[in-house]
A and B are shown apart, each in its own frame.
Chain A
Amino acid sequence: MEGLKAVTVTDRDGVILIKSVSNDVSQRVLEPALSTTFAVISDQASKLGLKKNKSIVSLFGIFQIVQFNHTPLITTLVADSDSNTGVLLDLGDELKEITDIISSALSDRQVI
């Protein structure tokens, strides 16, 4: 997708499960802080009185970060600030099909 720089699927501690990063973006976008911050903030956003938080879009000068609460996983998309946010939100929903498989595998494992 045009402008998309990085996609990561992590757990709530920021441990990366899957990643795909463009060469022209700083490796700092892979830092666990991005996911751990989202985990805390998403919990807080769920207390707004608007039920569970689904996603957060944060628009910076150069980049935009779109993060999804795919409990227990976090999907993070980093793209150029002028990229189409609607397409990124749609992409996150598509990726949920993949994260759901991982999530159910993780919960099966925890039962054992």
Chain B
Amino acid sequence: MLKPKAISQVLKQATTGGVKATLLLNSEGSPLAFVSDSDYDARVYAAIASNIWSTFDKNGKNLMREDNLKFMLVECEKGNVAITMVSNMLLCLVATPDVELGILKAKTDALAKHLEEPFQRVTAYTQA
């Protein structure tokens, strides 16, 4: 099974160099694990990020020939948010504006790749 402490440690490794928060959440917006300075901020990021993702995913399926959403980048005045899917969960990274969008995407992709395989196993186990 997955060790919650190990997940937090992996997320912590990504929360460096201007990345303020790293969250793993389910599709309903409940955080499963997160690393952030503030618990309140993390819950706000989780709720809004999951809603943004699900709305665009639905929109994409309707308009873009049943195409699946793979990655999202939300650019705000005081920070950027990257969201991607890992197994049936969402991975969300929040960074300051001085973090280049390319490095933010690279970090998100690397983390998603790292978590994909163990999470696939958990998904298979829960579905069995």
Contact = CB atoms under 8 A, between A and B. Distances in A.
A51 B70 contact: no
B39 interface: no
B69 A49 contact: no
A57 B73 CA distance: 5
Contacts of B76: 45-46, 48, 50-54
B124 interface: no
Contacts of B77: 50-52, 54
A28 B101 CA distance: 29
Given A52-B76, A54-B75, A60 B81 contact: no
Contacts of B64: 28-29, 60, 62-63
A72 B4 CA distance: 44
Interface stretch (B7-15, B52-60, B114-122): B52-60
A62 B59 CA distance: 14
B48 A45 contact: yes
B127 to A, nearest CB: 24
B59 A37 contact: yes
A56 B73 contact: yes
B55 A37 contact: yes
A104 interface: no
A26 B75 CA distance: 27
Nearest to B67: A60
B11 to A, nearest CB: 19
Contacts of A60: 60, 64, 67-70
A53 B63 contact: no
Contacts of B67: 60-63
A41 to B, nearest CB: 5
B119 to A, nearest CB: 20
A80 to B, nearest CB: 12
Interface of A: 26, 28-29, 31, 33-34, 37, 40-41, 44-63, 81, 85-86, 89
The 9 tightest CB contacts between A and B, nearest first, are A51-B77, A50-B79, A50-B76, A57-B73, A60-B67, A59-B71, A51-B78, A50-B78, A55-B75
6 contacts: A33-B59, A45-B81, A56-B72, A59-B71, A59-B72, A63-B67
